[in-house]
Amino acid sequence: MGASIQIVLSGYYGFDNSGDEAVLQSILFALEEQGRAQGLRIDPIVLSANPEKTSQMYGVKAYHRMKPGALFRALREADGLISGGGSLLQDATSAKTIPYYVAVIKLAQWLGKPTFIYSQGVGPVNRRMFDGWIRGAFKGCRYISVRDTESADLLATMRIPRERIEVVPDPVMGLPLREATQSAAEAGSGAERTIGVSVRFWNQDRSELEALSRSLAELLAARTDVRLRFLPFHLPSDEVASQFVIDRLGDHAGRVEMASGIVHPQDMLQQVAGCDLLIGMRLHSLIYAASQYVPMVGISYDPKIDQFLHRLGMKAVASTSHFDAEALTAEALRLLDHRSEWASSRSAAIEALKAQAQRPAQQIAAFYKTN
């Protein structure tokens, strides 16, 4: 192995969000693989809300993302910064999100470190003042990749040259099962069918979860060979949202379970791989399902759900603004009986996404090989 490179990773890490932890795990795997291919050893330094836990979970060096001294020390000792993946540059959840991630990029650039944008989902950006902030940070980046064409188009409206932006899949498409884990087909081969369910709170009146409860009750009434397994991706809030739905399933509660307390992404991936069908609101629940050839029914609460499903030639069956419970039940019943047909029809698209998910790590490793 040749030179050793230290790279800081900036993202939404250390918050017990299985989806974002999966992004981190996937980037770590990709950097190791592509670094090895270039004869490099890439040593990551992760900026985390819980550096001790992150370090223990992934065997990497970690610093606290919100402590200025630790952040400055991490960037100063590193050879570069990766910002991403995930939906970092958006102001829907908070007006503080974009300033934080842009500031990390600008600080790295001020320290003379190469910066890279790794498969980010950009937007929505509702405050126009942020356009210039993002443009200023991205102007100094050596490589820019986003996870969908909508993000690339939004950056283009901010006058970031379109030819500088590479569209790649979400990094999680490349996350592997643990080697000792049985295959998805083997896991779901019993007489009983398991439907994974990933929900989150969204509407203030909980109307989308009320509608989903009706749909799941119909599903359980129609198929006595079905069990539901709720898969909370963001702890603890998704466990509360899951319980909200479970409490409304009445007499069917005996055929329902919750996979509680799962944080490590490969543990959650294994749970999804053991399902015959996945009904999901969380983006990464759908990505996990696709990567394991598990048919899915998407519930859209954000354009990123629609964008991912579109790449598989699919559409969301329901949304938080328009939830047709009967249509969701019908689609779930259809997919339960046509798993192999669904998988074969989307095999080429899934394999292409898996291969393309390595592209940012490949480009970053190549940069350090030649510089």
Spans in the chain with pLDDT lower than 70: 1-2, 180-190
pLDDT of residue 184: 44
| Inter-residue contact 64 to 48 (CB < 8 Å) | yes
4-168+354-370 matches 184-337 in fold: yes
Residues 6+ apart with CB under 8 A from 274: 184, 187, 188, 194
Superfamily designation of domain 4-168+354-370: Glycogen Phosphorylase B; (3.40.50.2000)
Evaluate the omega torsion of the peptide bond into residue 132 and state whether it is cis, within 30 degrees of 0: no
Could you give the angle at which helices 265-273 and 18-37 cross, rounded to 10 degrees?
Answer: 100
Residue 129 corresponds to which amino acid?
Answer: M
The tokens of 212 are what?
A: 């989903």
| Domain boundaries 184-337, corresponding CATH code | 3.40.50.2000
Question: For residue 73, how many other CB atoms are within 10 A of its CB?
Answer: 13
Q: Where are the domains of the chain?
A: 4-168+354-370, 184-337
What distances in angstroms separate CA 65 from CA 5, 18, 45, 104, one per listed residue?
Answer: 20, 18, 11, 9
Rounded Cα–Cα distance for residues 360 and 112 (Å): 21
Helix H or strand E segment including 196:
strand 193-198
pLDDT of residue 190: 58
pLDDT of residue 18: 85
pLDDT of residue 253: 84
In Å, the largest CA–CA distance within the chain is 64
Rounded Cα–Cα distance for residues 104 and 89 (Å): 12
pLDDT of residue 180: 63
Rounded Cα–Cα distance for residues 13 and 304 (Å): 19
pLDDT digits (tens, 9 = 90+) for 117-142: 999 999 999 999 999 999 999 999 99
pTM: 0.90
Identify any residues that bridge with 81 across adjacent strands, giving them in sequence order.
8, 115
pLDDT of residue 187: 47
